[in-house]
């Protein structure tokens, strides 16, 4: 079975953009959607209905939510020490396969990168019991990979100020932690281009990722940024990331 997994930051709850968001999601024909900034459960329910998803989950003020046409055996939101947002654990009925939804702290500065490092360390501790099992992490990690092209002159003025206050160089350590413990960047495993996902009106950074244990990377048959999905530029400030995963 191939699982079509979509990760999508819908920006500030998605209120008023439900039709555009549904159009983008429908164009991807996903089996499972992990949402970020899905802070309005009525919007999540609307998207589930509009996209023909029989399962959905979301809570008021909670960033992570989901839509699913495949059966979900268990869904749970977990708090992380020092993290602003909880992460989402979804267990599929099929073979107990787990998908973890992630949304790390925002803002491109060394101060916030240090915070993201703490969040990733806490996340890795929390999911360590499943390290040898078939699982994936998807979401908005709000950071860049080492070596990714980056032009600070294209940042908004307030973020440019933070960049220069931090010494003119952003340390990129959060994702390095993922790689160091044996995870693989699903997009980078299949592509050499930058894979920009943000912002939709001037794509310049990749903030949205799919990670899996290195031994499972062969199961990822596709991992694409949906820049050409109808209405994607108007629906949100992030482009969605679509993966096709061959389940065992």
The pTM assigned to this predicted structure is: 0.92
**Residues forming beta bridges with residue 198, ordered by sequence position:** 205
Asked if 146 contacts 179 with a C-beta cutoff of 8 angstroms, the reply is no
pLDDT of res. 173: 78
Query: How far, in Å, CA of 141 to CA of 200, rounded?
Result: 17
User: Residue 138 is part of which domain span?
Assistant: 2-246
Asked if 6 contacts 241 with a C-beta cutoff of 8 angstroms, the reply is yes
154 three-class SS: helix
Q: What average pLDDT values come out for the chain (248 residues) when binned by 10 residues?
A: 97 97 98 98 98 98 97 96 91 91 79 84 96 96 75 63 53 84 97 94 93 97 96 96 96
pLDDT of res. 107: 66
pLDDT of res. 145: 73
Greatest CA separation for the chain:
49
The count of structural domains within the chain is 1
248 three-class SS: coil
Tokens standing for residue 181? 């413990």
Domain at 24, CATH number: 3.60.10.10
Tokens standing for residue 145? 């990979």
**Residues forming beta bridges with residue 34, ordered by sequence position:** 7, 66
Phi/psi of residue 2, each to 5°? -100, 125
């Amino acid at each position: 079975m191939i699982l079509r997994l979509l990760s999508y930051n819908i920006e500030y709850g998605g209120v008023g953009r439900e039709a555009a968001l549904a159009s983008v999601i429908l164009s991807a024909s996903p089996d499972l959607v992990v949402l970020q900034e899905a802070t309005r459960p009525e919007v999540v329910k609307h998207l589930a209905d509009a996209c023909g998803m029989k399962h959905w989950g979301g809570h008021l003020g909670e960033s992570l939510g989901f839509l699913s046409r495949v059966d979900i055996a268990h869904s749970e939101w977990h708090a992380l020490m020092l993290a602003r947002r909880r992460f989402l654990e979804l267990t599929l009925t099929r073979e107990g396969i787990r998908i973890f939804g992630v949304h790390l702290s925002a803002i491109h500065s060394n101060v916030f990168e240090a915070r993201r490092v703490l969040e990733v360390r806490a996340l890795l501790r929390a999911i360590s019991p499943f390290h040898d099992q078939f699982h994936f992490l998807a979401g908005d990690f709000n950071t860049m990979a080492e070596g990714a092209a980056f032009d600070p002159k294209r940042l908004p003025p307030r973020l440019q100020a933070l960049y220069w206050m931090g010494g003119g160089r952003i340390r990129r350590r959060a994702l390095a932690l993922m790689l160091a413990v044996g995870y693989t960047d699903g997009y980078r495993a299949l592509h050499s281009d930058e894979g920009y996902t943000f912002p939709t009106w001037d794509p310049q950074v990749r903030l949205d990722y799919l990670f899996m244990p290195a031994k499972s990377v062969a199961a990822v048959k596709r991992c694409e940024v949906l820049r050409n999905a109808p209405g994607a530029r108007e629906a949100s400030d992030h482009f969605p990331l679509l993966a096709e995963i061959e389940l065992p």
